[in-house]
Structure 1
Amino acid sequence: MIRNKRLNQKGLTLIELLAVLVILGIVSTIAVISISRVIEDAKDRALVGKAYALRDAANLYLKQKILDGNGLTENITYSDLYDSDYIDEIKDPDTGRYLSSTNPSYIQVSGEMITGVCFIGEKRNLCTYKGVTGPIPVKDLSVEFIQNN
């Protein structure tokens, strides 16, 4: 009786094993593609977030200039903000390296209002609006305006 049970036990056939491996390969491919897309989306949102951080620092800088009675300028540069300690070094979302204090990013000012942001990373930028190179209006800052350098 015990002998018959052993003979009736079956293992996986080669075809079944190959089917399992193919299914695991398909699932892992889908997972890698999905994770890659999530990472790219996070980098896009981080780039927009850096532009907003630049805008917020420029807003404080501008208010201080107004309070001090200093003349207002058309643009506030990343360098102005960094040199005046209104912002720390910004880390580029694509490379993970800090942007130098000479980075050409700037904030556009009109009167006493911030009207646009031009953020330039090492690989990509937020500095083209509707096909025209220049600052993006603050109300329109989004991932759809990210361009490669």
Structure 2
Amino acid sequence: MQKRIKLLKNQKGMTLVELLAVLVILGIIAAIAVPMIGNVINNSKERAVLSDAASIIAAAQLAYANDEADQDNIDTTLTYKYDTLNKYVDGITLADGDEVVRDANNNWKVKYSKLTALKTNSKYSGKFDGDYMTSSNLNSLLKKD
């Protein structure tokens, strides 16, 4: 019985100072980790928009293969608008003004409402041609890590 009482008296818990030290360390780790996680989430959203824009260009190229241009100008510029593109994309919500243009030099450019929201970001501002982004610029952005 004496041994048991002695064992109970020897058990020690954590002091208030130790608990506060642990809380301070956890607070520092949280202050560092939360902004990093926010950046990862934001970057993944931006890459998803870029990927959607590349898929829209691929849909226009498929429409081109099926000879479904919405507008054929004299200088062989082809335009693919919402109605045509919507048949070829799945899982991407297109707006009325979204379109893909193929110019006479076979350069593809996309105008995508979600993509133009990235225009204000300095990382992407030099990649736009007016309201459009070319397929080569899109591909170069998607290849970056």
TM-score by length of 1: 0.68
Q: Does 1:37 align with 2:35?
A: no
Structure 1 window deviating more from structure 2 (18-27 vs 73-82): it is: 73-82
Deviation larger for 119-128 or 129-138: 119-128
Structure (1/2) with the larger strand percentage: 1
Pick the aligned partner of 1:51 from 53, 69, 73: 53
> Take 1:57 and 1:75, find their aligned partners in 2: how far apart are those partners?
12
Larger Rg over CA atoms:
2
Alignment of 1:115 onto 2:108: yes
Which residue identity is paired with 1:124? A
Q: 1:106 to 1:48 in 2, by over 3 A?
A: same
Distance 1:52 1:137, change over 3 A: same
Q: How far apart are the structure 2 equivalents of 1:89 and 1:12?
A: 54
Take 1:116 and 1:81, find their aligned partners in 2: how far apart are those partners? 13
Taking a change above 3 Å as real, the CA distance of residues 14 and 123 of structure 1, as seen in their structure-2 partners, is farther
Q: Which residue of 2 aligns with 1:93?
A: none
* Distance across 1 between alignment mates of 2:125 and 2:112: 10
Is 1:136 paired with 2:133? Answer: yes
Distance, in Å, in 1 between the alignment partners of 2:105 and 2:129 is: 24
Matches within 5 A, 1:1-149: 2=3, 3-65=5-67, 71=72, 73-82=77-86, 85-88=87-90, 90=92, 98-100=93-95, 102=96, 104-111=97-104, 113-121=106-114, 124-125=117-118, 129=126, 132-141=129-138, 142=141
Q: Share of identical aligned residues, percent?
A: 31
Deviation at 1:11, TM superposition (A): 1.6
Show structure 1 runs of 5+ residues with no match. 91-97, 144-149
Asked if structure 2 preserves the Cα contact closer than 8 Å seen for 1:59 and 1:114, the reply is no
Does the CA-based 8 Å contact 1:61-1:86 persist in structure 2? yes
The count of aligned residue pairs is: 130
Deviations 1:68-109 (A, max 9, x none): 9x9554322233311xx122351xxxxxxx444x1x122121
- Structure 2 vs 1, CA of residues 122 and 73 (structure 1 numbering), >3 Å: closer, same or farther? closer
Unaligned 5+ residue runs, structure 2?
none
Cα 1:42/1:121, change in 2 over 3 Å: same
Work out the CA distance in 1 between the residues paired with 2:130 and 2:77: 20
